[in-house]
Chain A
Amino acid sequence: MTDGGGSAGETRAVGDPVVSIRGVHKVFQVADGRTRALESIDVDIQRGEFVSLIGPSGCGKSTLLRLIGDLTAPTAGIVTVNGKPARKARLDRDYGMVFQAPVLFDWRTVEGNVRLPLDIMGVRGRERDRRAREMLELVELHDFARHYPRQLSGGMQQRVAIARALAFEPKILLMDEPFGALDEMTRERMNSELLRIWERTKTTIVFVTHSIPEAVFLSSRVIVMSARPGRITNVIDVDLGRPRNEETREQERYFQLVTAVRESLRGRVDGETPVASPDRTMAEGTIG
């Protein structure tokens, strides 16, 4: 467990994807028909990548993330994580999950919350305490170890959720709009912190966001999606250098990439027509 991949990881060639999604469709049966949440999705995510999913509301970002994490099953297609079916990867505890809300247990202290996955996975005694403390230091909350969640601000709670997700050293971190509820200032600070953590832990991160600047600042690749049916319309490589910091946000290239993502979101991809057809949008009646 200490050096990541285990035997399977070493025998695979460099460049073997950590997450491989092939021809995935997802249809939800609802009272008044069916929602085509995802259609023909093909994605590969490499080890150590930071991939963002961006797209209008309802385009299936959360669904795609939940498919990777085996919280829901695809209607068609195959999701492979670390070379095994997503379900096997979940049972092997390959990924950590961070939701939009912190989802902390209010009867556990901050430290107790970070220990939760360790308790469940049978990590005991001093090893457990050491890891929990290390994670709290990573998110700079070690002074709050004995506080209860309700005594923390929203941003601090979200940092606890990140520490909790990292505590058992998952190979993949799945984050669904983790900073969505935070103000702009806090969000930017959290972005820098997350990058620092990512660089230190070398985890693979799949990150859902609504914010174009956030996606560009954090990612090595941005996957742009469109709604109804949910499809991938564009994938943009973010060739900004690292480490990224406040200066990154002022670079010419940063602005170009932000514009590129924005135009992709509007459906103006070179040589491609907008994917969302107006009649579908009208029929489902929700605004993306």
Chain B
Amino acid sequence: MAERIADAAVTTRGGRVRTVLFALLIPFAIVLVWEGVKFLGGDPWRIQNVLGLGVSFEHRPPLRIGMASDLSLPHVWEVLGSFFEPVQRRSDVSLGQFLVGAALYTWREAALGFLVGALLGLTLASIFIHSRLLERAFVPYVIASQTVPIVALAPMIVFAFGQGVLSVVIIATYLTFFPVTIAGIRGLTSPDPRALELMRSYAASRWAVFWKLRLPASLPYLFTALKISATASIVGAIIGEGPGGIPEGLGRAIINFNQQYISGPEKLWATILVSAVLGILFFSVVRAVELFVLRGRALAAG
């Protein structure tokens, strides 16, 4: 037994090293393809004064691929370099600082929407599993709500609730509650019927059955939904910031840098990169909470 546990530990450690290597390999491969395409078909480029030796290096790609032009696809180093440049001319804030600030701002809105959406989803699911009537009556509308495109709905929400953080949070909530509701219904009804009979034999109240059996049994399902919701809430917040009139977040930054694309495409790319990293980080936080909460159970994947 001890041997098997030790074995498992070794494989997980080996597996973890492999996972990290693999995770680093993918961005490396993306950069390689990216710059490879530009090397073959991008705009000519030169580095003046290589390493301060007074020599300059120039590359003229053999092909011309429109998609690989510096405007469509700026160099990786220009995107990365732009983080250290001023966000606007003569500003003493770098783009990197600005984007981190904007990401934190957007994340706060998203996290709020995520929390409210998760609670709303769980509450709806709890009501639906206790009342077939309400489930039949309302679940179709819950589903229908998700077929309305959020870009159409966002301005209406802003119109109803006014410009400001509240509207943005509502939009994030709107994208968040749905997966939690559906997974919640599934998870809260997942207990073994015999487990429910066991509770019945204890004359346990509905309340006790909910807290001691249904909710814990639903957690693996809920966390799957929460991981979807984590990224969805960030998308919701970014989309909502436009009509919501929030200047501080990533949404406004994306709109602005879109308008200034011709003069600095790398800024938009940098903003997209930061948005993606934000999504991954929020996802990872939820995943970490999941691992902690579900410790001891058979490990849930992903």
Listed in ascending order, the chain A residues whose CB lies under 8 Å from chain B are 69, 71, 90-93, 95-97, 99, 101, 103, 105-107, 109, 116-117, 119-121, 148, 150, 168
User: Of B194, B199, B203, B297, which is within 8 A of A107 by CB?
Assistant: B297
A117 to B209, CA, bound (A): 11
Judging by beta carbons under 8 Å apart, are A97 and B197 in contact?
Answer: yes
Chain B residues at the A interface, C-beta cutoff of 8 Å: 192, 194-195, 197-204, 208, 212-213, 216-217, 219, 294, 296-298
Say what secondary structure dominates the interface of chain B: helix
Can you identify 5 A-B contacts, CB atoms within 8 angstroms?
A71-B200, A99-B198, A106-B298, A119-B212, A120-B202
How far in angstroms is the closest Cβ of chain B from A129?
A: 17
In the complex, the 9 A-B pairs of residues with the closest C-beta atoms, listed nearest first: A97-B201, A148-B296, A103-B194, A91-B203, A120-B204, A107-B216, A120-B202, A120-B208, A117-B202
Since A71-B201, A97-B197, A105-B195 are in contact, a sample of 5 more A-B pairs with Cβ atoms closer than 8 Å, ordered by chain A residue number, is A90-B201, A93-B202, A101-B194, A117-B202, A150-B298
Q: How far is the CA of A105 from the CA of B215 in the complex (A)?
A: 12
Name the B residues within 8 Å of A93 (CB-CB). Answer: 202-203
A105 adjacent to B203 (CB under 8 Å): no
Contacts across chains A and B counted by CB atoms under 8 Å = 54
Contacts of A90 in B (CB 8 A): 200-201, 203
CA distance A95 to B197 in the complex (A): 13
Which residue of chain B has its CB nearest to the CB of A174?
B201
Contact A106 B197 (CB under 8 A): no
CB of B218 to closest CB in A, whole Å: 11
**What's the Cα separation between A106 and B295 when bound, in Å?**
10
* Interface core residue of B201, B204, B219 (most chain A CB under 10 Å): B201
- Chain A residues with CB below 8 A from B212, complex form: 105, 116, 119-120
Whether A96 and B201, one on each chain, are in contact in the complex, defined by CB atoms closer than 8 angstroms, is yes
A59 to B61, CA, bound (A): 84
Task: Please state if B297 and A148 are interface contacts (CB–CB under 8 Å).
Answer: yes
